Structure 1
Amino acid sequence: MFDTAHLHPMIVHFPIALLIIGFLFDVLSLFVKKDFFSNAGFYLLILGTVGVIAAYFSGDYAGDGITETGTLKQALEIHEEAAKLTLWIVITAAVFRIFLVSLKKYHKIYKGIFLILFLFGVLSIFRTGFYGGQLVYKHAAGVQLNLGFDAQSNGNTEYENNAIEKDDD
């Protein structure tokens, strides 16, 4: 059966990619005077913001299933705080960009202020991803180890049990 706690690791990579590429397109639009890069950066920011919201809430839900003790509790709290900061920075950047575009003020100093805010959002994404990686690879949060054994296998792998069953026939 599908465990909904697995949604977070499936969702989280989309906003990471969308926001990083969106930021790079916006920076590229400073040097290449084509509307394509600025427009692409805008749409990637919007899609990435929706992804950040989905990743935040799916992570909050996934975290509910983890028993928090000791260093795992600390690591989970650090990741949660980093995710919350990322959520607010990215939402603020998206709202600011929408505001600037709608007022036709997305140029000069306002574009620079936005890009600095967007940069903070991307750096915050990196930080949150780092702490998420620590949860999985250092603390094994959410990892379910089976290694091919089950409770009735007498220490044999599934392959070995199948071979034993064939010999019994």
Structure 2
Amino acid sequence: MSGIPLHPLLVHFPIALLLMGTVLQIVAIWKKKFFDKAALLLLSTGFISGVAAYLSGGGAVRFAAAHWGSAYKSLAEIHELYAFATMVLFGIAISLRMLLHYFRRKFLMPLILVFCILGSVTLGITGHYGGQMVYVQKHAGSAVTTLTVSR
């Protein structure tokens, strides 16, 4: 695996786990017992794998710069910003979820859902910009510079 960045291999785990965790957190409104625990498990493992994916991003940036040049740099910065926001939002949701386990406050559940949904939105945006870097930069060369304007 020498020279191949881990980031593209790792990103799929948090995407699947966090999005499915959000869906199960919504389902847990009506069917608490199983779905509540399953949502916490998926969100927690999704968050941990998300941190690993986030930390591996630097290697992917170095790999891309070596192979494709630096035309995508502003796109990579936006991608990183949304990835960080995603981790913060899901980190808050999981923290609130842990509080809910110990303090059983009804007002926490809507907050958890809001943070999960916002995190899912930023996760989608993060994936969009990641895909733009891979598919546009890799296959179309300088086309990325026109995409950075369309934030």
TM-based fold match above 0.5: yes
Deviations 1:7-42 (A, max 9, x none): 11111001111111111111111123x410111001
Contact 1:82 1:128 in 2 (8 A): yes
Deviations 1:73-125 (A, max 9, x none): 111111111111112112122122112212233xx321011100111111111
Letter in 1 for 2:33: D
Question: Paired residue for 1:116?
Answer: 114
Give the 5 Å matches for 1:101-140. 101-105=101-105, 108-140=106-138
Q: Does 2:47 match 1:49?
A: yes
Question: Paired residue for 2:18?
Answer: 19
State the 1:5 CA deviation: 4.1
Contact 1:97 1:114 in 2 (8 A): yes
Letter in 1 for 2:101: V
Separation in 2 of the partners of 1:61 and 1:5?
9
Which of structures 1 and 2 has the larger relative contact order (alpha carbons within 8 angstroms, sep 6+)? Answer: 2
Q: Does 2:90 match 1:90?
A: yes
Question: Paired residue for 1:9?
Answer: 8
Pick aligned residue for 1:65 from 63, 70, 75: 63
Distance 1:3 1:89, change over 3 A: farther
Pick aligned residue for 2:37 from 24, 36, 39: 39
Separation in 2 of the partners of 1:3 and 1:123?
34
Question: Identity of aligned pairs, percent?
Answer: 34
Letter in 2 for 1:7: L
Distance 1:61 1:92, change over 3 A: farther
Partner SS for 1:55: helix
Range 93-102 or range 38-47, more displaced: 93-102
What CA RMSD, in Å, does the superposition of the two structures yield over aligned residues?
1.7
**What is the number of residues matched between the two proteins?**
136
Unaligned runs of 5+ in 2: 140-151
Task: Give the TM-score of the pair, scaled to structure 1.
Answer: 0.74
4+ residue runs over 4 A deviation: none
State the 1:4 CA deviation: 5.5
Separation in 2 of the partners of 1:60 and 1:99?
33
Partner SS for 2:28: helix
